[in-house]
Amino acid sequence: MTGRTAAPAVRVVLTDDQPLVRTALRMVIAEVPDLEVVGEAGNGAKAVELAASLRPDVIVMDLRMPGTDGIEATRTITAEPGPSRVLVLTTFDDDHVYGALRAGASGFLVKDMGLDEILAAIRVVAAGDALIAPSVTRRLIKDLAGRSAPGTPRRELTAVTEREREVLTLIGGGLSNTEIAERLSISVATAKTYVTRLLAKLDARDRVQLVIIAYETGLVTVDRPAGPPGRPATVPRARHDHTIR
């Protein structure tokens, strides 16, 4: 009987200017079979170099580093076609959230989270989903609210149908594909199709980017409660599962 071939390990690059942080993460990752550290960088410039040469699945990225910082490195890495996705892991949750996610990061965690949570986040991001720590979610909502204040120029949506606008509004409101399907009385498969179309039409890397676009276009605000499709929705209070699906 032929045995199953094990799935290849998720290839990870660790980027942090503190060697002790990289060592701790490397030791933890070495204990699990589905993750593998293939490189380490002490600054953003080195992370960009390793992304190009190693093409890892996930780059764990600190933000505040000498020289090229994490946001600039993330912007450079995600601008190039390739498999690498960026998971920000930083000491700070009170600033740079919007900048990092706008630069293309697929996740944003803080270092005081449990190691198991960090490992789980690496797997989530490698699988193509997006994840934000609860405290970071609150900060992001606050940042986006300020950026969508009256008088702020709003990004325009083009080539997006009315139904796709409704779906984007609900994505911005924090709804999952299942919840979107229930709200619009469509199947989950159809909801996923709309999300896929929005990602392509809006050149968004993942669902985090769609949330940002929903705010930038004014489809979602934080001063009005969630309502039926077509009306602005607010991001709901934090839930236990902060994976954005």
Examine the pLDDT at 229 and tell me if it is beyond 50: no
Position 5 scores a pLDDT of: 60
Digit-coded pLDDT (tens) for 108-165:
888 888 888 889 889 988 887 777 665 665 566 566 655 554 555 556 787 899 999 9
Distance CA 41, CA 14 (A): 6
Give the phi and the psi of residue 33 in degrees, each rounded to 5.
-80, -20
Digit-coded pLDDT (tens) for 162-196:
999 999 988 877 677 888 899 999 998 999 899 99
What rounded mean pLDDT belongs to the chain? 79
Q: Are 20 and 40 in contact (CB under 8 A)?
A: no
Q: String of b and e for 189-200 (b: at least 16 CB within 10 Å)?
A: eebeebbebbee
Digit-coded pLDDT (tens) for 26-81:
999 999 999 999 999 999 999 999 999 999 999 999 988 888 889 999 999 998 88
Kindly give the pairing relationship between strand 243-244 and strand 130-132: antiparallel
Q: Both tokens of residue 18?
A: 């503190």
The residue behind tokens 């740079």 is 96
* Spatial CA neighbour of 145 closest among 45, 25, 14, 235: 235
- The packing angle between helices 44-54 and 70-79, to 10°, is 20
